[in-house]
Structure 1
Amino acid sequence: MTKKEKQAIRLQICMLLDQHREDPTSDHLEQAKKLSKLLLEDEYEPKKGEWSIAEKYYLVNHVPVIGFNKTAKNLKRSLKDAKVMYTRLMKGQINTVGVFDEKITRLG
């Protein structure tokens, strides 16, 4: 989604809320929510390239708890990349130094 498209959606939301400020019905609020969801869906471009130790650590420890979708979103990585990395980590196909250690630095 382009910057102009996002601006147009934000403007629609503002106009909708301004028009119905004194009588906010659930229909108008639902319209505003639907428009805002469009903005949230296209919120980030997935990261590419090397995974940091902190990202690998987060992936290994959060996939079993919150699943692939949410973990990938939190890491700002594509779902496919997260699944591939998780599988490779679990099979021991890549260097896991620091990933399975108890201490780890914060995700930056």
Structure 2
Amino acid sequence: MKRLGLTLVAAVCLTATTFAAENQPTTTKWDGSINVSKLSKYLNLSDDQHAEVTNICEYFSTQMERATTAKKDQQKRLRNAVYGNLKLMKQTLTDKQYSDYTKVLNITLQNKGIEVK
């Protein structure tokens, strides 16, 4: 009876540990695919804004690739890449566009499994 109880406890602990490990945020490699055309259409960008947003997105992709492949200070690099991107976008977009952009970026990062602390 004691063995059965210990076996059940071990099985429950193993299951809980496995479940918890799968739900931890992970940092996946950034694939760098930002569809600027769709983003431009969604945010209703002007021609000048479109050109600037294209440059910002290219820079952001480069920074995210570096951050996700970094061996040291990965969280710090991710944070700097995301907040740097937000700062540049804040200067380029109107308040409404910026608000919509932050929502899109937040969802994108969550879908990629990237958590910025």
- Give the TM-score, by structure 1 length: 0.30
- Give the TM-score, by structure 2 length: 0.28
Give the helix-richer structure, 1 or 2: 2
